Amino acid sequence: MEPQRLFIALDLPQAIRQAVAELQERLREVENHKGLHANWNITWTRQEGMHLTLKFLGEVEGKKVPGIQAVLTEVGRVFRPITIQIKGLGAFPSSRAPRVVWLGIEESKGELDRLQKRLDELLAPLGFLPEAREFHPHLTLGRVKSPNGRDSLVKALEDQKTVRLGEWRLEELDLMQSTLQHGGAIYSKVWSIKASN
């Protein structure tokens, strides 16, 4: 069995996906405003590809999958619904040099951080190293493929930096598979845990 490209993520309600898609459309309208055609050269994340990643596992051999599922089952015993705020538009590595355009996620009780750290802790014995970078919860809107139109993109990000998409409850933790294809990655659920209320 070939290795699978896996990650762990919180599932998003369809209403979030729709709201994010509408924001992407507004940004595309800015790009093309008055025939400007800034040509930002962004590959926008498709609705079905939107997720809140907690842990990227990389290429995983099939024999390790049951251990990962056991970790999710363990985490599921204490997993409760998490309420998040989606607000703030930005970019990695910075808004002045955008490579990845993102929407910020805030959660006031620290539950996201605790969940991510618990996954790191339980997955380490399986050979998945803890994240070296600080956890920065976000939704990826798109990936910038070239510096074309950078000035107008930077201005658009600045104009929308205080955007708010409201408050949402996340109630499902998923082991996801990413299959890379010519038109972009295709995502599928391998294993899911529902939050206990």
Total Cβ atoms within 10 A of residue 98: 23
DSSP letter at 67 equals: H
152 to each of 35, 97, 155, 157, 184, how far by Cα in Å?
Answer: 13, 12, 5, 9, 25
Nearest to 176 by CA among 25, 68, 37, 42: 68
150: exposed, middle or buried (Cβ count in 10 Å: 0-12, 13-18, 19+):
middle
Which residues are annotated as catalytic? 51, 138
Q: Going by C-beta distance under 8 Å and a sequence separation of 6 or more, which residues neighbour residue 95?
A: 154, 157, 158, 161
